[in-house]
Amino acid sequence: MFSQTSPASPGGIVTTSWKIPVNATIDTYLVTVSGTSTFKTPSDIQHFGVNAATMSVATITSFKPIYQRTETMRFSFQPTYPDASLPSTGVGLLTLATPSGAKTTLTATYNSNSQTFNVNYTTSVINQTGVWTVTLEHVLSVMPMEHRPGNCHNEHATTNSSRSNRRCDRKH
């Protein structure tokens, strides 16, 4: 429950704002406006929804522009929330496509030291040469248990990026 006292303007208009916390439950909320010196029946109420935040990912970084067979491809990205804050945990799902179009799903995990999501893929001697493409499909950012308020039933804040692509050239 959030409570705030805000004075009304001379015209009777009450204006206030509330920054939605990162651990807010995705749900519909109710705002009730009641007076402290004047009262109105019924009280003014307004419903509003808190939805999943859409994260932005500027780029997927490949640690090398060209990989040899049997080398480990390394990818990294840093999503941001609409208010420019960074997630504190979660996973990202990426698709790695070979030159012929065969696809492999990769799971990037969050590194709290670098504040980035990272994933590795080790190639083999039989992998195709040519341009491979990595695409960010989905980021799931989950609040750690220690940051959740008591009795809060938020499971996760699901976030989608606009599909980001990174091409990696492979040589043998």
Question: Can you give the pLDDT at residue 19?
Answer: 80
Residue type, position 143, single letter: M
Compute the distance between CA of residue 135 and CA of residue 157 in angstroms, rounded to an integer.
21
Q: How many helices (H) does the chain have, and how many strands (E)?
A: 0, 11
Question: Can you give the pLDDT at residue 142?
Answer: 54
Structure-token pair, residue 32: 């009730």
Query: If you search the block for the tokens 């990162």, which residue do you land on?
Result: 22
Q: What is the mean pLDDT of residues 122-143?
A: 86
Transcribe 34-49 into DSSP letters.
--SSS--SSPEEEEEE
Give the pTM: 0.66
Count of CB atoms within 10 A of residue 143's CB? 21
pLDDT tens column, 40-76: 778 788 898 888 878 889 999 999 999 999 999 999 9
Burial bucket for residue 160 (CB in 10 Å: 0-12, 13-18, 19+): middle
Q: How confident is the model at residue 5 (pLDDT cuts 50, 70, 90)?
A: confident
* In the chain, % of residues over pLDDT 70: 81
- Show the domains of the chain with their CATH numbers: 1-51 (no CATH), 61-171 (2.60.40.1930)
Strands 157-159 vs 130-141: parallel, antiparallel or unpaired: antiparallel
Q: How confident is the model at residue 170 (pLDDT cuts 50, 70, 90)?
A: very low
